[in-house]
Each structure stands twice: as C-alpha cells, then as structure tokens.
Structure 1
C-alpha cells in the first residue's frame, strides 16, 4: 500500500515533485474535516486512560500531557477534559525537566519515555483508530489501494524507540493502515 508520511511544512510544489499524482491528506490539528479527527489533539471523548480504570479523556494528547511528570509538577488531570485543540501541552520551560509518565493518575511508577510511548501513547492512539476513526482508516486503505497517499504531519519520526524527535502520529496511522503496528505496543 503506497502510503507515505511527509512534513506539513513542505510546500505543495515540493510535495507534488516528490509524490507526483499522490492524494495529500493533512492529519494534523490544523486539518479540515474529516481528517482532523486523526489528530491526537482531536477531542473524540471517551478515550480510556491507561492504568486508570474508569477514567477517560477527550483526546490522546490530553492523556499524554496529563500523565507527564516534571521536576516541578506531577500529573495534571485537567488536561483530560480539554476539548479545544489548544492549551493541552505542558512544557519543560514552565515545569522543568520531564521525569517520566505516571502509570495512571494515581500510579506510583514513572515510565521512561520509550516505555511511555509504548504503554500510554500507542494504545491510546490505537483505541481512537479502532473506535473513533475506523471509517477514515478504511478510506485511507481504499485510497492507498488505487494510488499513492501522503499523510502530512509536523514530524515524520515513525520509530518508537527514537527519542530524538517526537513520534509522528501519521507514521503510526500509516503502520495501522498497513497492518504493521509497532511491536511491544499493547491495547488500552
């Protein structure tokens, strides 16, 4: 299936030259309907929070930010309720270095970055793909069956084990669509 991931920052001319004739689909929080629903910032609601039985979040990014623990701040459950796609991020500049991600809102264990990607982010995003965006995944599969598709994201890192740059949800979407979900990722 010819699905590619490219930076949203590329010009249309650059994309057209690199992927002639491809359908270009923006899947970021700045995309239009219906593709914006594939953004981890999109407020689908009802997304289970890993390690927190009965607790749900509006968005995948809300989960990731809520469970992040900094030198100067613990978890922030308010991030689970954010329904706008702005004001979700918690930064090192404000709270100091990240110590890890807590195993749930009240968990005692802090997960290192790669482990948190595998046990928090991936299961949460996969849940959205299965339960809130299955129709869009199927549209991408069909489109990829007839020609090239380019998914736009702000980052293109599809390697869960590479902490140098943020993980690309478009790369995860491509993997899910192609049936090659990253190894070691559990379900939410």
Structure 2
C-alpha cells in the first residue's frame, strides 16, 4: 500500500506511524533515483501544453514559465533551466499573479485551478508515462507486497484546493493506483463549481491587460545553458523499494 506524508516529519515519527514501511523521498532533495519523480527534475523534451512543439527541461519549468503577473508576462527561460534551482517566480518579485497563459503565443489566461487542470496535471502525467516508467512499474509491484511512504513537502491531494500546492507525491500514488485525475472530468466539475472556487474576474479583461506586453515566441526552443545531470538508466539505479 502507498501512503503520502510530509518530508518535514522526523524519521523517528515516520517510523512510529508506519512501522516496517519503506520510506521513499520523492522531492528534489531525494538522495536516490527517486529524485527523478520531482517536478523540478530536468528530464528534458517535456512538451509545453498548447505551444506548438516547444519543450521544457522540467514540469516546474512549464508551470513557472507560463505564469503571468501584473508586472511580468511569461518567461520561456524557465523552460531551459536544468539546474533545479531558481525556477520559482514569486509574487514578491513580479506582483499579483493574473493567471497562466494557455500556450506561449496565446492571449488567453487560465485562472489558477483551470491552469492546474489543463497545464500541470497533463504535463506531470506525461513525465510519469514517458520518463520514469521503470520506477513507476517497480513502485507498483513493490506496493502490493509492502507499505511504502512517499515523502513530499506538500501533501494536498485536492485538485480544487487553491490554498495549498498540489502534492506530486499524491499524484504518483493516484497514477500507480489507476485513478490519476482526468482533465475532462475535472473541467466539468470546475465549471459547475466555478462561482465558488474562482474570483469573479472576466478572462477577457485579463487578456487585455497583458496582451500589450506579450511578445511572439519562437517555436524552436534554444539549447539550455546548463547541462542535465548525467545519470544511469532507471533500471540500473538502486531505488529504496
């Protein structure tokens, strides 16, 4: 069975809560090959949604790169960052977030939850299916024989909770167990609940505010200035389960 808990808890506490379980860190600080499950990991060639062939080094690069703030538009440099550092774009630096652009050349801005559903979830799923399949297969088999606790900094599993970051460890658990969130189903639910979940701001107004700042983006991604960490193939690296 798979559990998800906070990386902030002490080893002693975790062992008490989950006796005999395998504790598996899946954050960007993981000391094993499970670091590849982190949204910050630079797998490379990750498709940027709605962007005509553009790719990103990491999932987090996609998420941060498509953000639009009151004081800044998208930043495709995030797509090329393979250092696992300096990817976050914050309110303190850029001002109030207006949404995520639906593709690098689009004038449409997606509200936070809709962006989570249409950008983050499909992008992370693509990585699970195309970049870490061996690890996921091993986790699926191991979880049928023993308890495994995935550690993450955040443990929120509710896609519709805008107050807390979505836990990628929870997404791993859902994917392995065969119930990864469906984009179509989530969009239908969001539409039905939109008045309760999102501020009453017209998308058209958001698009007008940022349209003048937007610059066309080349469809050919430039090479990253930082090399992706060199590692062995998944099946050749020891993992804790």
Flag whether TM exceeds 0.5 (same fold): yes
1:145 aligned counterpart, secondary structure: coil
Change (3 A) 1:72 1:44: same
Query: Which residue pairs with 1:74 in the alignment?
Result: 73
Change (3 A) 1:65 1:185: farther
Answer with 1 or 2: which has the greater Rg.
2
Query: Which residue pairs with 2:34 in the alignment?
Result: 35
Query: Which residue pairs with 1:113 in the alignment?
Result: 112
Per-residue Cα deviation, 1:140-182 (whole angstroms, up to 9, x for no partner):
1111011111000000001111111100000001000100111
Per-residue Cα deviation, 1:19-71 (whole angstroms, up to 9, x for no partner):
11111110000002310000000000000000001100000000000000011
Query: Which residue pairs with 2:8 in the alignment?
Result: 9
Query: Which residue pairs with 2:48 in the alignment?
Result: 49
Query: Which residue pairs with 1:137 in the alignment?
Result: 136
How many corresponding residue pairs?
185
2:159 aligned counterpart, secondary structure: coil
Query: Which residue pairs with 2:169 in the alignment?
Result: 170
Checking the alignment, whether the CA contact within 8 Å between 2:21 and 2:149 is kept in structure 1 is yes
1:171 aligned counterpart, secondary structure: helix
Q: TM-score, normalised to structure 2's length?
A: 0.75
Checking the alignment, whether the CA contact within 8 Å between 2:122 and 2:183 is kept in structure 1 is no
Query: Which residue pairs with 1:92 in the alignment?
Result: 91
Q: Distance in 1 between matches of 2:52 and 2:158?
A: 29
Q: Distance in 2 between matches of 1:161 and 1:53?
A: 28
Q: Distance in 2 between matches of 1:185 and 1:93?
A: 34
Mind listing any 5+ residue stretches in structure 1 that lack a counterpart? Answer: none
